[in-house]
Structure 1
Amino acid sequence: MITAQAKDSFERIFRKAAQARLPVDSSDICEIVPLADACEGSTKDTQVVVLTISSIVFRLLLILHFDENDGTRGYYLQGDDERPFQEAFLEICNLCCGAMNQELLHYFPDLGMSTPYVLSARCLPHLHELKPGFVQSYAITLNGSAQLAATVCVCAYAPVDFVADMSAVEETSGELELF
């Protein structure tokens, strides 16, 4: 069982990570709105990147949906035609999941994170077979040019109850500070 406050916490952690890591530049606009269904907006060409965060009490799947179209390619490659799109996009997806993992480590110290893998979006209707305690999908628009979707799916193996404190000052790493 996943409590209502834990579901709310998973959602807030996802939103924070998505807004921080999915945009190429911190000044880019990242709009996130809930979707009624994980398959909403999928085409026959839609693919998904699946990442997993696992603990003793739950497994969280972060599923990022994308179409490799001109808008998405242009946004993430920024004119770099030498780099394969999937390489660039998988790196971004990994950073987003890593940000979620870092936040969840405050409440669950035993987490492991998978590497990203790409599947067809045709697998999304089968999420219910995992018997998730929480599933929420979102439409994501980046700077009005890139359209993505995301699904957060959490399967609980024991009761999950926590309240994420999102008011904490974010620590930085790898940046120089000038005094």
Structure 2
Amino acid sequence: MFTHAQPETSHLDAVTREQLDSMLCRSLDDSTTSLHRAQTLSAQAWPADLTNDNASLTLLSLSSYQFHSLVLVITDSTRATCEVTDDHLLEMGNTFCGSLKRQLGQHLPNLGMSTPHALSVKCLPTLLDSCRLPLVAGCHDSRGLSITGWLLLPKDFELQLVTKTVDDAESTGELELF
């Protein structure tokens, strides 16, 4: 597990933090064509330059009655080997958030997901003001695009993911018709 520059937050236990980090990495892997697996990052590791004209921010939300969060995908196309369109970035954000929603849905039922919104990366400091410590994963895709996926949980929100064990029903080999 990555050692963060800021102290560990009190609203996430170590197991939950590790599960969320793993979910972020898996979601980023699902939404990119990376040659290397995504890794967790410190929120301060990227982006260093919020005035970069090649950086883009895609914002989505995940929410239910018991859970709410913001999901960000930030890309930097400075070293990209091909043109990256806004539609491609929005679809990447949608795929990333959808993968995260499926994984979190195993622990938090009835999650809803918003449509992706393109914002200026200069909005990041304002978005970060509403959370205690963001969870961040990053990778470089095969086209040179630098990509980070962020999960922003509210400052006052406590979360503990518990792995559910499901009893396998005994199979009798019969077919059921619905």
Is the TM-score greater than 0.5?
Answer: yes
User: After superposition, where does 1:8-47 map in structure 2 within 5 Å?
Assistant: 8-23=18-33, 28-37=35-44, 40-44=47-51, 45=53, 46-47=55-56
Tell whether the 8 Å contact from 1:32 to 1:141 is kept in structure 2 after alignment: no
Match of 1:119 in 2: 119
SS of the residue 1:127 aligns to: helix
Contact 2:64–2:110 (CA<8 Å) still a contact in 1?
Answer: yes
Q: Select the structure with the greater relative contact order (CA < 8 A; seq sep ≥ 6).
A: 1
State the number of aligned residues.
152
CA separation of 1:6 and 1:72: change in aligned 2, threshold 3 A:
farther
User: Greater strand share, 1 or 2?
Assistant: 1
Determine if the alignment matches structure 1 residue 67 to structure 2 residue 76: yes
Identical residues among aligned pairs (%): 20
Q: Which residue number in structure 1 is paired with residue 141 of structure 2?
A: 142
Letter in structure 2 aligned against 1:93: G
TM superposition score normalised by structure 2:
0.71
Letter in 2 for 1:90: L
Q: Give, as a single letter, the amino acid of the residue that structure 2 aligns with 1:108.
A: L
The residue that corresponds to 2:97 in the other structure is: 97
Q: CA 1:50–1:61 in structure 2 vs 1: closer, same or farther (change >3 Å)?
A: same
| SS across alignment from 2:129 | helix
Q: Structure 1: which 5+ residue stretches go unaligned?
A: 77-84, 166-179
Contact 1:23–1:30 (CA<8 Å) still a contact in 2?
Answer: no
- Give the secondary structure class of the aligned counterpart of 1:13: helix
Q: Which amino acid aligns with 1:88?
A: H
Q: Say if 1:13 and 1:164, in contact at 8 Å, map to a contact too.
A: no
Give the structure with the larger helix fraction. 1
Distance 1:60 1:89 in 2: 20
Unaligned runs of 5+ in 2: 1-10, 165-178
CA RMSD across the alignment: 2.7
Question: Offset at 1:126?
Answer: 1.7
1:52 Cα shift?
A: 1.0
1:162–1:38: structure 2 CA closer, same or farther, 3 Å change rule?
same
Q: Residues of 1 paired with 2:136 and 2:69: CA distance?
A: 13
SS in 1 for 2:154: strand
